[in-house]
Structure 1
Amino acid sequence: MTVNALDTLLAAKVINIMPGLRPSDRKVALALIEHFNRKTGRCDPGIQRIASLLDCCTRTVIRATNRLEKLGLFEKDRHGGYSNRNRYRPNWKRLAEHEAAWKSKLHRSRRSKVSPETRQAGHLESDSAVTQTCSRILPKQTYSRSPAREERMPQRSKLPIPRAADAARTEAERRWSNDLLEVYAGRPVTYAEIVDAIDVGLSAAATEAELSQHGAGLRLIQRRLKLQD
């Protein structure tokens, strides 16, 4: 199977949204994906290296890789890699199945909920025809005065009208989010860590910066999180 950049990006997406994984499992899985060499198919980072990168103990890494193997997301050849290290193989087929299941669930949630009952096609057989008499009866009714206009006319529902400022702010947030994904799409581990580090305050500040100038939102995030361009 030929693995391209999109496959690794989708794998990172699945790992981030898949239920049942512990935070340590997600971090270790993303680290393994980032170490996968698409040209050679090699993925044999040492346990100590992963632990050092993720700032955790080696036992945490070992437990995480065992759980990932049990879930079928990775295959592990013990001491089958370079320098007597474990060799890992992402289960691309299983990851693709999870990604397809997520898309199907997302599609179903967007469908409008319509009643399955069919509409009545016409009058019931037992229903008798009647003559509309409203036009003849209405003039005969007596009023001391004409009904108020608001009593005769149905009230229109007052729907909230989105303000231009809110629409602009939403568009600014979308721009810096897309810029962030475009810059760090090739490094899923880094991208996931950046997303985790963006709190409500930083998100709002990036949006305000993007409102003033295109591209300023991403630059503010990079500056606040001390990231290299």
Structure 2
Amino acid sequence: MRAIRKEGRMRPQRLDTTLAFKAINLAPTLSGTDKRVICAILDHYNRETGQCDPSLTTIAELLGIHRRTVIRAIDRIVQLGFFRRIRHGGHFHRNFYVPNWARFRALEAQWKDQKQQHRERIRGVNLSPFQGRESHLAGDSSATQSSSNNISRKTCNLSLANREHDQTSSLSNITRQRPQSLSRPVHVENASSRQAALNAAQRRWDNAILKRFAGHPIYSDIVGAIDQSLSDAATQSEMDKPGSGFWYVMEKLVEREVVPRTHLKSSTPGDT
């Protein structure tokens, strides 16, 4: 028992208790219940005597959980090296817990390393790569101005101010000399919308032929006689004037003697 108390009286370093609570909350291997149990045990630690032996029943009642849950949590905590558990067989056969302060300090140091690595990884990502302008105060060393437009003749020599003025004037002249067409909105036809319009035009004259000759013996001859060039020309005609694609195909097929002209006499634009 004396050896146990001697081991428990190995006092923590300054702020070890605070760092321990921080490390517990940051530990990725601990569940929510594990963290509550380990905090309850650590809260019973006596810095003067090193005594830390809360009973399982006390921890369970304080946390409002089952005693078996406390036992399972303590088993995990001891296995992960946060405490040493010593069964001393004393009052009510309670366990004696020795905090592993080195383990807590290591977790806190690991967290600080992660923060530092994160800073180094994002350092400069959101910063401008351009340096500020240097100006020289009389009797002083070079300084960096926060704004490129903040050129004061009181903080830089006359030649520098004149150079800045010339550069600003040149930039203004370049801006004024830009072609006006660049400032006007330019309509660029979308390739997909153009294709959609062509497809719609082709469907219109194709449906018109189907409506006029569906079920007619000559329909198969018409379909077979429409080659790619005729189809493209009819589609373009339909694009230029809706309803004309049908008549363009019919006139060409009449010229090719595929369709007798008499078959067109009963057809009117309204039929399409």
TM-score scaled to structure 1, two decimals?
0.49
> Which is higher, the Rg of structure 1 or of structure 2?
2
TM-score scaled to structure 2, two decimals?
0.41
